[in-house]
Amino acid sequence: MTAPPAPEATQASAEPRAGAAAPSKAAASFLLAWNAAIDQARSGKLQRLYADEVLYYGTRQAADFVLRHKREALARASSRGQRVSDVHIARGMNGFVVTFTKHYGASLSKSIRARLVLDETPHGLRIVEETDAATDARLARAPASGCVDALLDAVGEHPYVRADVQRVQQAGYGVQPGGLVYEEESGLVDAAWGYMHPERFETRLWIRVEEGDFTVTDALTMERLTFFGKALERVRAACGLTPPLPRRTQNPAARSGEQPERAGD
């Protein structure tokens, strides 16, 4: 199997593919702009990203308080830098709810699930809530799970994906692998898996659930990955898919229990 190009050698974008929910493009771009400002310790760029009042880690605060707290945190940080991965964008009451894994600390060794709630305003998107899993636990709010989690887990466990992540990590590109969900509603999921750079998302795989089936397609070669066994069953159960999946998603290796390979290898 030919190794895929290194992350920096592929076209990278946070934009959904043709047919995905176009408004989510703005939310993905907003998240990456927010992350870049923190990653580069440019607190001045955060000012235009927050609403006048923010639910900030469980307490309602004025934007001035939030920005001052951000400036102080960035100034005293012994090791700057932040990355995001495993992004899920959903429609909210007045805009979008963006959940993601935030990587921070020395060598980005710490991580936590985090969330931004964005409102659409005449001046563009603005953050009205910023929080994380620790705050949710303190306030006894359980994070959502289901079809998307099962899909991203199955993709992350796939031998092809695991090998690619290992290759990228060994090369030291400084990117975080994970997913980005553009649209999720009853019977439909439109998502991607790839690498999070500080200011952009590099798509490697397209993920789609539609009409009782799911497909994972290589964004470079347009070939489909094959899934079987427990990973396949977890996705079927979580997404309400009707087994068996159509034969076009299976290859002889999968049916015989052999190690699956992408079509054309």
Q: What is the CATH number of the domain that holds 63?
A: 3.10.450.50
Q: Tell me which of 79, 112, 141 is where a domain ends.
A: 141
Task: Enumerate the H helices of 15-110 as residue ranges.
Answer: 23-39, 63-76
On whether both 132 and 27 belong to a single domain, the answer is yes
Has residue 254 been placed in a domain?
A: no
Q: What percent of the chain has pLDDT over 90?
A: 40
On whether both 104 and 30 belong to a single domain, the answer is yes
Has residue 6 been placed in a domain?
A: no
> What is the domain extent for residue 25?
19-141
Asked if residue 60 lies in contact with residue 80, where contact means CB atoms within 8 angstroms, the answer is: no
Q: What is the mean pLDDT of the chain?
A: 81
Has residue 4 been placed in a domain?
A: no
For range 27-45, the mean pLDDT = 92
Under DSSP, the state recorded for 243 is S
User: Cα separations (Å) of 104 from 22, 33, 101?
Assistant: 30, 16, 10
Treating both helix axes as pointing N-terminal to C-terminal, what angle do 147-157 and 159-171 enclose, rounded to 10 degrees?
70
Q: What is the per-residue pLDDT for 17?
A: 53
- The residue with tokens 């991607």 is 192
On whether both 178 and 111 belong to a single domain, the answer is no
Q: Tell me which of 141, 169, 199 is where a domain ends.
A: 141
In this structure, of 6-20, 38-52, 212-226, the range with the lowest mean pLDDT score is: 6-20
Q: In this predicted model, which residue has the larger pLDDT, 107 or 222?
A: 222
In this structure, of 30-34, 116-120, 154-158, the range with the lowest mean pLDDT score is: 154-158
Domains of the chain: total: 2
Has residue 151 been placed in a domain?
A: yes
Distance between CA atoms of residues 3 and 103, nearest Å: 27
Provide CB contacts within 8 A for 234, sequence distance 6+.
Answer: 150, 153, 154
Q: Binning pLDDT at 50, 70 and 90, where does residue 243 land?
A: low
On whether both 97 and 150 belong to a single domain, the answer is no
Treating both helix axes as pointing N-terminal to C-terminal, what angle do 229-239 and 147-157 enclose, rounded to 10 degrees?
160
On whether both 77 and 187 belong to a single domain, the answer is no
Has residue 13 been placed in a domain?
A: no
